[in-house]
């Protein structure tokens, strides 16, 4: 069973297509990133896959069921980390995670989950006393405590400091290694490149490119840009063979740089954000 299968998904609001006939699939144990600017349709897509919003067209199967009609047992098999969440500020971290664990038939050990999201030292702290980044870690803990087969992560590391982000990345890799399927949305392109085996880029309700972080948008065959200075001034050449250009430029070159496009370059080009 492919955990997520989407064919011709459509959603409109007031005659405007928020999702305009997209196709996508996510394999078991895969980390798949859905990228795009604000308003691209990512959150609407995720909400439909989670069963929180009805679609207007297309076929969707999540863990083998239609999320629009799936029941409570299906919901116990997925974990969700929303962009923002309300919480019970008077409860401690431990009380909150233990409480949510009780909703699931086979939850993870709450203490292990608290430690995994980096909150062991704050387990007895009331949630209202936590920083924004620490509260975000609580959201992640609640999303994985049910030991889900599939996890939806919507901007999960917003508010994390660099060290916390790296710890979270290690957690995601360990979940995937255990067979958990993960659908991730993020505005951090380095996060997508570090975690995702495959990704798709949405613009205007459509998927405009899909592939691996190293091949999406033609990256695998993109030309390098060689820049240097010499007695004639500044030179810039795009080429498939930078070594040949360097050899032909002569020995008096200075300020030599060879740059190949990366995921950020492709992303900005696809969303039309190049200045």
Instruction: Give the domain-ending residue among 180, 200, 215.
Output: 215
**Is the domain of 195 the same as that of 231?**
no
**Is the domain of 169 the same as that of 47?**
yes
Percentage of residues in the chain having pLDDT higher than 70: 97
**Is the domain of 154 the same as that of 138?**
yes
**Is the domain of 168 the same as that of 79?**
yes
pLDDT digit string (tens) for 216-251? 988 878 888 899 998 889 999 988 888 888 888 877
Q: In whole angstroms, give the CA distance from residue 256 to residue 267.
A: 26
Which pLDDT value is given to residue 178?
87
pLDDT digit string (tens) for 74-105? 999 999 987 665 567 789 999 999 999 999 98
Q: What's the domain count of the chain?
A: 2
Instruction: Give the domain-ending residue among 200, 215, 230.
Output: 215
Q: Is the pLDDT of residue 158 over 80?
A: no
**Is the domain of 149 the same as that of 222?**
no
Q: Is the pLDDT of residue 275 over 70?
A: no
**Is the domain of 20 the same as that of 150?**
yes
| CB of 201 closer than 8 Å to CB of 211 | no
Q: In whole angstroms, give the CA distance from residue 197 to residue 194.
A: 9
**Is the domain of 34 the same as that of 150?**
yes
**Is the domain of 179 the same as that of 222?**
no
**Is the domain of 94 the same as that of 114?**
yes
Q: In whole angstroms, give the CA distance from residue 102 to residue 11.
A: 35
Q: What is the CATH number of the domain that holds 36?
A: 3.40.50.300
Average pLDDT, stretch 187-192? Answer: 92
Domain of residue 235: give its range.
Answer: 218-271
Beta strands 198-203 and 206-211: pairing type?
Answer: antiparallel
**Is the domain of 117 the same as that of 204?**
yes
**Is the domain of 249 the same as that of 191?**
no
Average pLDDT, stretch 116-133? Answer: 89
Instruction: Give the domain-ending residue among 170, 188, 215.
Output: 215
**Is the domain of 82 the same as that of 152?**
yes
């Amino acid at each position: 069973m492919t955990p997520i299968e989407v064919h011709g998904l459509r959603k409109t609001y007031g005659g405007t297509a928020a999702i305009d006939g997209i196709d996508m699939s996510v394999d078991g144990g895969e980390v798949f990133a859905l990228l795009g600017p604000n308003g691209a349709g990512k959150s609407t897509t995720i909400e439909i896959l989670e069963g929180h919003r009805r679609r207007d067209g297309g076929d969707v199967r999540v863990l083998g069921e239609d999320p629009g009609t799936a029941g409570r047992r299906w919901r116990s098999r997925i974990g969700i980390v929303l962009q923002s969440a309300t919480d019970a500020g008077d409860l401690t971290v431990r009380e909150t995670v233990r409480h949510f664990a009780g909703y699931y038939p086979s939850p993870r050990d709450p203490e292990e989950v608290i430690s995994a999201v980096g909150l062991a030292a704050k387990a007895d702290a009331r949630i209202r006393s936590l920083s924004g980044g620490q509260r975000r870690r609580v959201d992640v803990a609640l999303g994985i405590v049910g030991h889900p087969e599939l996890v939806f992560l919507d901007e999960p590391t917003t508010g994390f400091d660099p060290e916390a982000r790296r710890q979270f990345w290690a957690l995601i890799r360990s979940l995937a290694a255990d067979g958990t399927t993960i659908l991730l949305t993020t505005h951090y392109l380095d996060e997508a490149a570090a975690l995702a085996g495959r990704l798709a880029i949405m613009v205007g309700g459509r998927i405009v490119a899909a592939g691996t972080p190293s091949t999406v948008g033609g990256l695998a065959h993109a030309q390098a840009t060689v820049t240097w200075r010499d007695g004639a001034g500044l030179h810039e050449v795009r080429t498939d063979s930078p070594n040949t250009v360097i050899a032909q430029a002569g020995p008096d070159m200075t300020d030599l740089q060879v740059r190949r496009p990366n995921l950020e370059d492709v992303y900005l080009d696809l969303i039309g954000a190049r200045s």
